[in-house]
Amino acid sequence: MKKISYPVSALLFASLIFLSGCGGKKIAARVNNETITMDQFNQRVQEVDAAELAPALQGQGLSHAGEYALQNMIFEKLINQYAAQQHVTPTDSEVQAYVAFAKKESNPALTWIPPDPFRTDDEWTRVARIALIERKLAMAPLNITENELHQAYNQLKAKLTPPDTYRVRVILNSTMQKAQAALASLKKGVDFKTVALTQSEDKTSAAKNGELPPLADNKQNPYIHAIVSAAKQLKPGAFTQSVITVAPPPTQKGGQPVYFLVQLIEKIPGLTPSYEESRPICEMQVLDQKDPNALMRVQENIRQFKDKANIQINLAPYKNLMNAK
């Protein structure tokens, strides 16, 4: 049989058609005029974590990493396209500022970001961008002014200010006799850290020379309340001159009193966050007042945009992934 030769240009054209994508990369899906490559899809599948699939255990959400990854990649394309159409695309600096806010706040009712202890920095950027777009879409038709946001800040300032916290060392004993012996050592000039290390019966704090994590007052916890109340009366470096006796809470049946000595290391004043730091919370305050159903409105608008979008999925197992309303 005679061998047929094809022009090099024809072979090149055929190979480009076969690869079916820009730059010779295979395409997993197309969303309007944008593509998701197989490389991008495979990378995202590897990033899906247990928290993202956990809702499937309660019958909610997708249960397989592949469908979860592809659905989210398509959704991200859609919402970014819709943001561009509505002129609310956030800048990179806005996104990073929102990441910082969301990591610090952690309340999904305020951040519109679900909790995920496994989230990477790249994933934080992605979910923060989506949440920020949704917030901008929610606020856009409401014409929220800077004056309204400043008023909200002034109303919320007291609630936004964290309580003072105290760094302290403690010596804890189970009997008054042991506590008095520890106090006697302190009054003889033995360093508080040394006495805590050698005479405190709380092994965890004793191993750290008596130091506890910073404490804020908590009247529901009699031990913390007693320690903080004592610390408030001290200057840094000073210690209590008498033993503090704390009775067990009524719910602790059969509990025995404990005996404390407290040294103040430092008081850490609760600082009121600035307006810029609190802006997302102020926005939520005004948004809830003007349109309590704002998020539902935004989600419906995005759904309508999705229904009109040209979505092509080239992966056979996921052909019908975006058909659900």
pLDDT at 18: 38
Query: What's the mean pLDDT in 39-46?
Result: 95
The predicted-structure confidence for 106-116, as pLDDT tens digits, reads as follows: 889 889 999 99
Return d(Cα 268, Cα 271) in angstroms, integer: 9
Q: What is the topology classification, in CATH, of domain 165-268? A: Chitinase A; domain 3 (3.10.50)
pLDDT higher than 60, residue 325: no
Would you say the C-alpha torsion 118, 120, 124, 126 has a positive or negative sign? negative
- 137-147 tens-digit pLDDT: 999 999 999 99
Phi–psi pair at 246, nearest 5 degrees: -120, 120
Q: Considering the chain, what is the average pLDDT of its residues? A: 90
Minimal CA–CA distance to 322: which of 305, 225, 80, 221? 305
Domain 8-155+274-318 part of CATH 2.60.40: no
Report residue 324's pLDDT band, with 50, 70 and 90 as the boundaries: low
Which of 18 and 214 is assigned the larger pLDDT?
214
258-268 and 165-173 as β-strands: parallel, antiparallel, unpaired? antiparallel
**pTM higher than 0.95 for the full model?**
no
DSSP string, 212-260: ---EE--TTSHHHHHHHHHHHT--TT-B-SSPEEEPPPTTSTT---EEE
> In this model, does residue 308 exceed pLDDT 80?
yes
- In the chain, what is the greatest distance between 2 CA atoms, to the nearest angstrom? 109
- Domain ranges across the chain: 8-155+274-318, 165-268
Q: For residue 45, what pLDDT is reported?
A: 95
Residues 243, 225: contact at Cβ < 8 Å? no
pLDDT for position 250: 75
